[in-house]
Amino acid sequence: MRRTSGRTAASRASSMIALPDRVRSPWWELGRRLLLALAILTGTVLLVYLDNEGYIDGNDPTGEVDLSDSIYYTTVTLSTTGYGDIAPVSEAARLVNAFLITPARIAFLVLLIGTTLEVLASQGRELFRIARWRRSMGQRVVVVGYGTKGRSAVDTLVNNGQSRDSIVIVDPNPAAKQDAHDDGLTVIIGDATRRQVLRQAGVAEADQVIITTDRDDSNVLATLTVRQLNPDAWIVASVREHENVPLMRQSGANSVITSSDAVGRLLGLSSMSPMLGSVMEDLLTYGEGLEVAERDLLVTEVGKQPQQLPDQVIAVVRDEKVYRYFDPVVTQLARGDRLIVVRPAKELPWAPRPGTHGEESADEQD
């Protein structure tokens, strides 16, 4: 019995109810606070009117305080104007002023001045920032999942010229939100398999979507939803198991990366040949040693063979197809070709640019 009770207590302790935050407009919040202020005014008027015998009106020959005088006294008292023409004279009225009306005056001022200004300033400023952010978004990249793979993908994008302002993170984990904010990124907290969440992230207008959650089934559902919202987006998705690659491609992913196979192959290569493993790791590391890059074909390179170029060409992109450098189809390079090369990271930065010294690309020549 003790063990059962212990397990029950542990399960209760580990569970937590997290209610969603209510998002309301600043005008709704302002209206609610005005109603609360009106309630304070009405309550104070009733206090004064019911005890009107304890007050005296200095401007009235009879000295009596009626309902209109009670309203007048309440407004000038709560607003701290206090002309002094109506004053409490009985002991009971003075005590009511000290212990009821004075706290009501403080609450009234805090409610209207403090809270209202805070709501209008913070929420209004946030809505303005969001609207301005949506208008200024350029080539948007949406990254679903901000774990190890998501952070590495973002680092690669940023290091190669992508603006942080154009990257949007979608992740349901509050810890990921904090990490992304620390990195200067915009975050949408929510499930990426839900249409509303992806719409809020701007997937419909995104140029690229990177999907890197830890579950293959979630990646498939997210890919399907993204493809339905944006048929033209370039979707790169990761999967843990190689057997899920065909399913991911059928879901609409343009490129699928198998994380477990890639890591396993690198481990195997490093085991058989430590030097080969170090070279592969070098190629996968940004900014050091060698790196794989894609660039335009230069004017001076048209008509040459891939082996004749200064860069080590490993593939040629022609008509949206990739050919290995030794393929007979790309024996001679032509305008419109793009090159996949291995080159020194320090000399030639990764980017789809013509070159590093202002050379003219083949596509730019008339």
For residue 194, count CB atoms less than 10 angstroms from its CB and return exposed for 0-12, middle for 13-18, buried for 19 or more: middle
Rounded to an integer, what distance in angstroms lies between the CA atom of residue 358 and that of residue 337? 18
Q: What is the pLDDT along the chain (366 residues), one digit of tens a residue?
A: 444 444 443 333 333 333 344 556 667 766 777 788 788 888 888 888 888 888 887 777 777 888 888 888 887 777 777 767 777 777 777 777 777 877 787 777 777 666 666 666 666 565 665 555 555 555 688 999 998 888 888 887 887 778 888 888 999 888 888 888 888 888 888 888 888 888 888 888 888 999 998 888 999 999 999 999 999 889 999 888 888 889 999 999 998 888 766 667 767 767 777 787 777 777 766 666 777 778 888 888 888 888 888 888 889 999 888 899 889 999 889 888 988 888 777 654 444 434 444 555 556 554
Residues of 229-257 as b/e, b for ≥16 C-beta within 10 angstroms? Answer: bbeebebbbbbeeeebbebbbebbbeebb
C-beta atoms surrounding 126 within 10 Å = 11
Single-letter amino acid code for the residue at 65: V
Q: Which residue has tokens 């609610």? A: 32
At 273, phi and psi to the nearest 5?
A: -145, 100
How many CA atoms within 13 Å lie on the side-chain side of 140?
23
Query: CA dihedral in degrees (239, 242, 244, 250; nearest 10)?
Result: 90
Single-letter amino acid code for the residue at 183: D
Helices (H), the chain: 2-14, 26-50, 67-78, 91-96, 102-109, 116-136, 148-159, 174-182, 195-200, 216-229, 245-251, 259-272, 274-284
Q: Tens of pLDDT along 25-54?
A: 667 766 777 788 788 888 888 888 888 888
**DSSP reduced 3-state for 354:** coil
Answer whether 216's CB lies under 8 Å from 233's CB.
no
DSSP state of 73: H
Rounded to an integer, what distance in angstroms lies between the CA atom of residue 336 and that of residue 364? 10
**Which of 190, 210, 197 lies closest to 140, judged by CA?**
210
Rounded to an integer, what distance in angstroms lies between the CA atom of residue 116 and that of residue 333? 67
Answer whether 312's CB lies under 8 Å from 348's CB.
no
